[in-house]
Amino acid sequence: MVSKSKVLGRRNLIILISKGTTQNYFYRIDNYFKSINDNQYKIINEFQTPSNLIKLIKTADKIIVHCGPATIFLLTKYAKVMPLIIPRLAKYKEHVDDHQLHFVKFLRKKVPKKLKKYFIIKEKMKNDIENYLNEEKIENQLKKFLFLNKRKKMLIKKLKDYINL
């Protein structure tokens, strides 16, 4: 857990949790945050419209998200803090298959070693979440490493069109 001493004298930490648009629960995330019973945090864990999600991404102190490509794109473009990215897993009925696990493994290959800890590939991630919440805010580094191929403009246009539907 984040120690109260780190946040005393500050406004509540805003923790944005984005679980995507699928109807499946993200059990591992939901169960972890149900155990936090501390008014030092403002946990935003509800479905958001795309425009509201962008506003929250821009202002959140900590961001914990599923590994959906559109969400990763939004984080790359708008997040000020480095997010923690956790794939939904079919094993826990969090998604229909493990495409998010494959995607997070792909993304991990594109970032330097010091950033790999933000791309979770383990099933049990309680310690990863606690470490993330306890560390000082680190500037978002995703822009430097993701979406850099020559088809970037086409990908950006497709994602923008999708988000603005």
Q: How far apart are CA 75 and CA 87, in angstroms?
A: 15
Secondary structure letter of residue 118 according to DSSP: G
DSSP 33-71: HHT---TTEEEE-S---HHHHHHHHHH-SEEEE---HHH
Q: Report the predicted TM-score, pTM, of the whole model to 2 decimal places.
A: 0.80
- Averaged pLDDT, 60-89: 93
Number of other CB atoms surrounding residue 160 within 10 Å: 13
The answer to whether the beta carbons of residues 133 and 70 sit under 8 Å apart is: no
pLDDT digits (tens, 9 = 90+) for 89-147: 999 888 899 999 999 999 999 899 999 999 999 888 889 999 999 999 999 999 888 86
